[in-house]
Amino acid sequence: MTQYIIRRLLQFIPVTIFATLIVYWLVFSMPGDPIRALSGDRPMPEAQVEAIREQYNLNDPFLVQYAKYMWGVFTQGDFGTTFQGRPVLDIIQQTLPTTLTLAAFAFVFQGIIGIIAGILSGVYKDRFIDRLVQVSTVVVVALPTLAIAFLLQLVFGLNLGLFPIAGIQQGLVSYILPAIALGAVSTAMIARMLRSELIEALQSDYVRTATAKGLKRGRVIGRHGLRNSLIPVVTFMGADLATMMGGTIVVESIFNIPGLGGQIFRSIQAQEGTVVVGIVTLLVLFYVTLNLLVDLLYAVLDPRIRYD
């Protein structure tokens, strides 16, 4: 087990280097000079442009730029600064908690609602509640996150006035609508996935055996049916938590939430390699860590899985 974890942790190194290299190269190879674009229609004096280019190593060849940057990150924890001089670490420290809060809300929301709906739908197969879950999840999956976000904002924010429309100034309640928007599609996916897994499990031999042994139905479903059905769901939710970061780009901008997603979007537009790579490095680490946790969680759900 320990060996397995160490081996997985060692894999972090090539994954991180490879991912950041690609991202850095993508930002680097975007056409146009980002410094030139900083001042808009009115060009900056040549001397100022040079000063800024020098400061950000923009005159160096690609690999040198990348190496200088990575050296700073891993030796001094220096993630560089934006073209405006703000340390990237500052940005991450400020935006990360916000995005994590949002993601946590969405995660809890999709976990609870998705699993409850999935169980109800699987257990009461072909009954009204099942049909309801089936139809509503198809609708949600078909709608783009963008549309869901606007819909929630208009109905629950503006017309009913139940939740704040945007911003985070009103505390945790501000996160509810964005979290629902962010988690909606996954909630539907989880419900549908769990439903089919559960239906299959409930028809399997071991469940029939358990029922034959005279176990209560609740225990049969919970301990035998559900536990097995949850493995793919956990895999999905783990991977989803990481990809959720992509969804935050849309949701954070619509709900005006000052998080990582909005920041990464703006930085890509401004071709700020340092910010993009800083955040991406973080996301990559986040993703591989989550994957590891998910893999470890399998053993809890299915004792047959071994790691050595």
The residues binding another protein (CB under 8 A) are 30-34, 36-45, 47-48, 50-52, 55, 84-87, 91, 94-95, 153-154, 157-158, 161, 164-169, 252-256, 258, 262-263, 266, 271
Cβ(60)–Cβ(68) below 8 Å: yes
Name the H helices within the chain: 2-28, 34-38, 46-55, 62-76, 88-123, 128-142, 145-152, 176-202, 205-212, 217-219, 227-254, 260-269, 273-301
Q: How far is the CB of 264 from another protein (least distance, A)?
A: 12
Q: How far is the CB of 49 from another protein (least distance, A)?
A: 8
Q: How far is the CB of 306 from another protein (least distance, A)?
A: 47
Which is nearer to another protein, 134 or 256 (by Cβ)?
Answer: 256
Which is nearer to another protein, 40 or 303 (by Cβ)?
Answer: 40
Q: How far is the CB of 65 from another protein (least distance, A)?
A: 17
Rounded-to-integer distance, Cα 290 and Cα 308, Å = 20
Q: How far is the CB of 231 from another protein (least distance, A)?
A: 39
Q: How far is the CB of 104 from another protein (least distance, A)?
A: 19
Which is nearer to another protein, 77 or 161 (by Cβ)?
Answer: 161
Which is nearer to another protein, 271 or 281 (by Cβ)?
Answer: 271
What values do phi and psi take at 226, rounded to 5? -65, -40
Which is nearer to another protein, 168 or 194 (by Cβ)?
Answer: 168
Which is nearer to another protein, 51 or 112 (by Cβ)?
Answer: 51
Which is nearer to another protein, 97 or 222 (by Cβ)?
Answer: 97
Place of tokens 């945007």: 166
Cβ(83)–Cβ(35) below 8 Å: yes
Tokens of 190: 């989880």
Q: How far is the CB of 83 from another protein (least distance, A)?
A: 8
Cβ(121)–Cβ(195) below 8 Å: yes
Q: What angle do CA 133, 159, 103 make, to 5 degrees?
A: 55
Rounded-to-integer distance, Cα 1 and Cα 11, Å = 16
Q: Specify the 3-state DSSP secondary structure of 87.
A: strand
Q: Specify the 3-state DSSP secondary structure of 30.
A: coil
